[in-house]
Structure formats: structure tokens, C-alpha cells
Structure 1
Amino acid sequence: MRLDRFLTQQTRESGKAVRQWLLAGRVQVNEQVCRDGSLQVEPMQKISLDERVLQDQAARYYMLHKPQGVVSATVDEKHETVLDLMPPALRADLHIAGRLDLNTTGLMLITNDGRWSRKVTQPETRIPKVYLVETEDKIEAEYADVFRRGIYFAYEDLTTLPAQLEILSDHRAKLTLYEGRYHQVKRMFGFFDNKVIGLHRERIGALEIDAQLNAGDYRSLTNNEVKLFL
């Protein structure tokens, strides 16, 4: 919404009055005088008229170490959710930026900034996500070539994007994906009839999970960490 229209709706004053406020420098956006009525108002901006605050919703960003058995949802009738791991006072306007399966552990991002979370999750950005994978059977060298070429998923009638596999040991590997299909990692290893018995997301883009966070713990992101996805 344009700033001048926002001011009209919030104050119930005329467009003429709003234009006069803007010209007089009485309107502030993020504590800076703004005279441009065509400026697009964002949900996380602080907007003031003189000393009167019309909008002030501070953006909040968290990383959380998801444990097994906790669902990636804001509300669930059967299971504990990732938001249940945070104090009730923080939960009201938060949502998750990307999901993990019930038994997958690792890095989750939680915020109240919808624009930021869309940049993290929208497929067009192809932000790499790195997983540590443990399998029931031996991981053979041929897996890497197949993952690099992509695997056809008949249910969606699509071929997965090229993925990188680094074999760490007979039963452990590091997998980098650039998309997030339904149970994608398990289905990719399922192509070789090799069951995934452990899955942990350690990184999204350039952001790694804090090694000091135990399962179920969370912390605020630093300004530099937030900027990784701007």
C-alpha cells in the first residue's frame, strides 16, 4: 500500500491533509522523515506522524534446533510443534520458513517477517540446503552421479534438480539440495532401495546451525545472519 493511502486510512483525514503532513516533514518511516507519498509501506516498518506511532511491528528472526518427533507447524492437535518449544509470549505472530519431516532434526528458521521468509523458501531462489544423511545400507559411489543427473519422481512427473553428494563413510553422507520436494531425501536414497535412518539439516544457504544449540533450543539471528537472505 502507498504511504499516503496508509496515512489516510489510519487517521481518517483527507488526502489534502496527508499531502500537507508529508510536505511539512511530519511523517517518519523507520525514524527518518519521508515526504514521498508513493512509498510502498512494508509490514515491518515503523511509521509515525509527529509523536504518534501508526505502525511499529519489530521484525524478529530465530534459528531453532529441531528435535525428532516435533512437527514443523504452528499448531498441531497430535504432536508438539516447533513453536511449542518457544515461550508463549513469543509465538503469537511467528511462522516457520521451510519445513522438516517429523523425524528430521536440525536447522529451522522462524520469523514474523513474511517477506523475508518467502525469500528463504521460494523455489526460484534455489538456496542450497545441506543435510547429513545416515543410511541402513552402504552408500555406493554411483549415487553421486545419479543425484547429480537428477532422479525422476513419477508422482509429480518431474526430475529433481542436480544435487551434490559427499560420501563421508559407508553409511554417512552430506547431501546438498536446491529444492524441497516431499520426503525428497528419503525418496532419492529409496531409488537405490537404501533406507534413510537418520537425517539432519545443518545449513541453509550460508547459515549453519549454531553448534552450541542443543536439540529443542533456539536463539535470535544476528543482523549479519538476517542479511544473508535479503
Structure 2
Amino acid sequence: METVRLDKCLTMNFGCSRREAGIFIRKGRVTVNGIPVRDAALRVSPEDDVRCDDSGLQVVTRACPRYFMLNKPAGCVSATDDSEYPTVMSCLRDEAGGLFPVGRLDLDTEGLIFITDDGAWAHRVTAPSRKCPKVYEAVLEHPADPVLKEIFARGVLLRGEKTPTLPAELEILAPEKVRLTIHEGRYHQVKRMFASQGNHVISLRRIAIGGIFLPEDLGSGEYRPLTPQEIALF
């Protein structure tokens, strides 16, 4: 019978980090079959009665599909393997094979990316027909012209493209800092949209996909399982 680490069992149920799960366990808030356990590495199976503060937990093993969110750091590629750069998979040190990133972020772009082994779910996230909203925060070389709100809302024709971008929503947070919501995933789209208007993106970070926001306490290179409620959004 397959088993899973106790701290991972907590992260799957609560959407917390491994570090937070370890704190719960060390404080004696978790029992396995009625016995308080303080060993985060203890392996449990679906037959075990695992509880945290008297709340029963579902024990999910690797036989089930897996879904994670990762705060991608700059300098790693959105791929399962690369001969030149580290990949996003290197951040998921404790997970087995079979996982892959959902969509892509550029090498120097940071922020939210999903990792899974469920191909059908990944397709629902990335399918162009679903127009899944993705939210980015960008630091620009020059102050953002307020007229960009109207230009991006109409759509812009990028160099080498035959059709304009879908309407996008721009929010100016500071003179050189903006938040942009797009509903498609063209190559280098956010950077090219600003470049088409004579501006340059200095840094870029994705903070949300389809209503799931990157938690403020999830550090660069850290990951956590998606909750059942988050998974059900797609």
C-alpha cells in the first residue's frame, strides 16, 4: 500500500507549506490512529486515521493525480528537462517523476506556475478557448502612460502577428509599476505589448491564474499542493 509523509498529508488538506505543517506536528496538534505524533517524516496510508486538532484528514497518495503551485524563481525554465538551465522541476525536490509544468513562464519571469501529472486538467487551464485570465505585475523602464488602459482594452497588433491581442485590463500601481490581466498566452506577450508602445519591461511576475493568487508567504522557489477547491476551479 502506498504511503505519504505526514507533513505532506497536512499540506494536501490545508494548502499550507511544509514548514507550517512541521510546526503543527511538532506542537503535538496531529494524531495518527489516536496517538500524538511529532515526526513530520512519519509515513501514513489511506487506512490510517489522521487528525489535526480533532479534524479528520484525507490521506492522498501518489496514486492520485497531483497538483501544485510553485513560486517560480528567475533563472529557471518552465520545462521538465534542460541542458543549459535548471528547470522548475528542480524546485520540487521531494516529489516523484511524472510531473510537468502547466504552460510556460520566461526564463527571467517569476511567479505563479502550476505543476501536475493530470494532462486533462492542464489542458483545461491552458486551452485558448477558455480564455483563462492571468495577472502579471511588471516594472517598466518608463512611466506608464494612462492612455495604455484604452489601447490594451481594445487589443494591440504585435509585430509578426496577424490578429490583435484580446482585450486586456491595465492597472497603474505606480509610475513605473503596473498590473496587467490578459486572457491568452502568446509568446512573450506582456513584454511585447509594452514594447509595441515604446516601453520596456524590466521585471515581470505572474501573481494569479484563473482566480488563484500566489500567496504572499510562499517564497521564491517554494511550492505547495493546490487545495481541492482550487483544483475544482478548472
State the TM-score, normalized to the length of structure 1.
Answer: 0.73
Q: Residue 149 of structure 2 aligns with which residue?
A: 144
Question: Is the counterpart of residue 195 in structure 1 residue 186 in structure 2?
Answer: no
- For 2:86 and 2:207, how far apart are their aligned partners in 1? 22
Superposed CA offset, 1:88-133 (max 9, x none): x624100111110011000000000000000000100001000001
SS in 2 for 1:174: strand
State the TM-score, normalized to the length of structure 2.
Answer: 0.72
Select which of 63, 66, 78 maps to 2:69: 63
Q: Check conservation: 1:129, 1:203, Cα contact below 8 A.
A: yes
Higher-RCO chain (CA-CA 8 Å, sequence separation at least 6): 2
Q: Check conservation: 2:71, 2:222, Cα contact below 8 A.
A: yes
SS in 2 for 1:153: coil
Give, in angstroms, the shift of residue 196 of structure 1.
0.2
- For 2:161 and 2:78, how far apart are their aligned partners in 1? 22
Question: Is the counterpart of residue 104 in structure 1 residue 126 in structure 2?
Answer: no
Q: Residue 45 of structure 1 aligns with which residue?
A: none
Q: Can you give the 5+ residue segments of structure 2 that lack an aligned partner in the other structure?
A: 1-61
Question: Is the counterpart of residue 208 in structure 1 residue 184 in structure 2?
Answer: no
Q: Can you give the 5+ residue segments of structure 1 that lack an aligned partner in the other structure?
A: 1-55
- For 2:83 and 2:90, how far apart are their aligned partners in 1? 12
Q: Which amino acid aligns with 1:179?
A: E
Superposed CA offset, 1:194-214 (max 9, x none): 110011000001100121111
> Which structure 2 residues correspond to residues 66-215 of structure 1 after superposition, within 5 A?
66-87=72-93, 90-215=95-220
Q: Check conservation: 2:155, 2:166, Cα contact below 8 A.
A: yes
Identity of aligned residues (%): 45
| Superposition CA RMSD, Å | 1.2
**What is the total number of aligned residue pairs between the two structures?**
173
- For 1:179 and 1:207, how far apart are their aligned partners in 2? 16
SS in 2 for 1:162: coil
Q: Check conservation: 2:158, 2:196, Cα contact below 8 A.
A: no
